[in-house]
Amino acid sequence: MTDFSAGSLSGIRVLEAGQLLAGPFAATLMADQGADVIKVEAPGAGDPMRQWGRTDGTSLWWPVVGRNKRAVTLNLREAEGQELFLKLVAEADIVVENFRAGTFEKWNLSYERLKEVNPGIILVRVTGYGQTGPYSNRAGYGSIGEAMGGLRYILGDPDRQPSRAGISIGDSLAAMHATVGALSALQRRNVTGEGQVVDASIYESVLAMMESLVTEWDVAGYQRERTGAILPNVAPSNVYPTKDGQLILIAANQDSVSSRLFKMMGKPEWSEPGHPYSTHVGRGKAQTELDELISQWTATIDAEDLLEMMDTGGVPAGRIYKAADMLADPHFAARESIVQVPDATFGQLKMQNVVPKLSATPGSIRWTGPALGQHNDEVYGDLLGLDEATRTDLAARGVI
């Protein structure tokens, strides 16, 4: 029997009825903290994530997003499958789904029906546009939520079309907000005994991260634009070249920090009262010329020497890491930011560890993404008490 003794969410059972990334990543975050996550997939192919991020035809993404979960197959489009799902709901605390709004209702799995079998159930619904409003029935992927939420417009260089992040950031932000909602609802249930619906949309999850963008436009008519590697009027904070052809990010925009940088550069007078570079506003106005002056200086120093100078002088700086840099970095190793996990297909896989780190009840990666339906017997047999003959019959008829 699978062990769920470790982690702050030990004792909490989550049913994940979703696919791709937004809903499943929310369940991953809870599974990492010890929740018993049962992933429900359609018989056959299962979650498309099982085929994404491939090498030699085998997914390297699924082991990460599917980690710490038990996998069962179940046909939610059939009445018999729906009834079996309700039996699982009766044994669960949280249901996560990220189908288009109205899909669960079409499958006779509305919140009202879930509540009939489990008054304390928390239904977490992750969609592109939310459960209400004129766009609620539209199909919504993370990329569309990033565009509508304001992120895409400000990403990239000003002389080019809007760019995108190299990751599915909209889906991941929705998953994180969905998880916050789920845990908030769980705390409320601890007080009242009642569950509720958590309505997390991708576009609003992105919008929530947009700082003062809307307020600036509303009050001052100021529209943030694409600015490439910088934030306007925040200087110096940019990527600078080194003598040996490297790029180092230096963030010295605070007054006390910029003064330390200027002293290292042999320009202590730049921090003296009255100098244009002595204040945050002044440095912001002179951002382009200041970056050029710093670049001229850094280009005379090798990267490792520059980083040592910055560290000794108390100026935040660092390399722009790729995966190979992370795997070689002693700080990553000391904090176990990346761990090696046994995997049935690859033997061992390195992946990011659980975040955040809890001192008393740390989460853990107990296993990588399981095979499709791997835990059918364990869940339907041990948890629901269905005998082997019943399970064999349900499988033969495509219900599980």
The DSSP line for 40-56 is EE-TTT--GGGTSSEET
2 pLDDT more than 70: no
Rounded-to-integer distance, Cα 259 and Cα 149, Å: 37
**Helix ranges restricted to H, 67-158:** 79-89, 103-106, 111-117, 142-148, 151-154
Task: Convert the pLDDT of each residue in 53-89 to its tens digit.
Answer: 777 778 899 999 999 999 999 999 999 999 999 999 9
**Closest C-alpha among 38, 39, 30 to residue 9:** 30
Farthest CA pair distance, the chain: 85
Provide the mean pLDDT of the chain. 92
Query: What's the rounded mean pLDDT across residues 347-371?
Result: 94
Tokens 């007080």 found at: 191
Q: Domains of the chain (ranges plus CATH)?
A: 13-209+335-396 (3.40.50.10540), 237-321 (3.30.1540.10)
Residue 9's pLDDT band, with cuts at 50, 70 and 90, is: very high
Query: What's the rounded mean pLDDT across residues 197-221?
Result: 94
Buried b (16+ CB within 10 A) or exposed e, 104-136: beebebebeebbebbebbbbbbbbbbbeeeebb
Query: What's the rounded mean pLDDT across residues 392-398?
Result: 91
Active site residues: 171
Strands (E), 62-141: 69-73, 94-97, 122-127
pLDDT at position 164: 85
Rounded-to-integer distance, Cα 212 and Cα 177, Å: 19
**Closest C-alpha among 22, 10, 68, 36 to residue 178:** 22
Burial, 249: exposed, middle or buried (Cβ in 10 Å; 0-12, 13-18, 19+)? middle
Task: Convert the pLDDT of each residue in 36-48 to its tens digit.
Answer: 999 999 998 899 8
Rounded-to-integer distance, Cα 43 and Cα 39, Å: 12
pLDDT at position 379: 95
Residue 51's pLDDT band, with cuts at 50, 70 and 90, is: confident
Those residues whose C-beta lies under 8 Å from the C-beta of residue 158, and which sit 6 or more positions away, are 225, 226, 227, 228
Query: What's the rounded mean pLDDT across residues 187-216?
Result: 95
What DSSP string runs through 175-206?
HHHHHHHHHHHHHHHHHHS---EEEEEHHHHH
Tokens 């934030």 found at: 231
Query: What's the rounded mean pLDDT across residues 162-166?
Result: 86
pLDDT at position 5: 52
Q: Give the distance from CA 240 to its chain's centroid.
A: 29
Task: Convert the pLDDT of each residue in 287-344 to its tens digit.
Answer: 999 999 999 999 999 999 999 999 999 999 999 999 999 999 999 999 999 999 999 9
pLDDT at position 229: 84
Rounded-to-integer distance, Cα 66 and Cα 75, Å: 19
**Helix ranges restricted to H, 235-314:** 255-264, 280-285, 287-298, 303-313
Task: Convert the pLDDT of each residue in 216-257 to its tens digit.
Answer: 999 999 999 988 888 888 889 999 999 999 999 999 999 999
pLDDT at position 1: 45
Q: Are 207 and 146 in contact (CB under 8 A)?
A: no
What DSSP string runs through 321-389?
--HHHHHH-HHHHHTT-EEEEEETTTEEEEEE--SSPPSSS-------PPPTTTTHIIIIIIIT---HH
Query: What's the rounded mean pLDDT across residues 139-147?
Result: 86
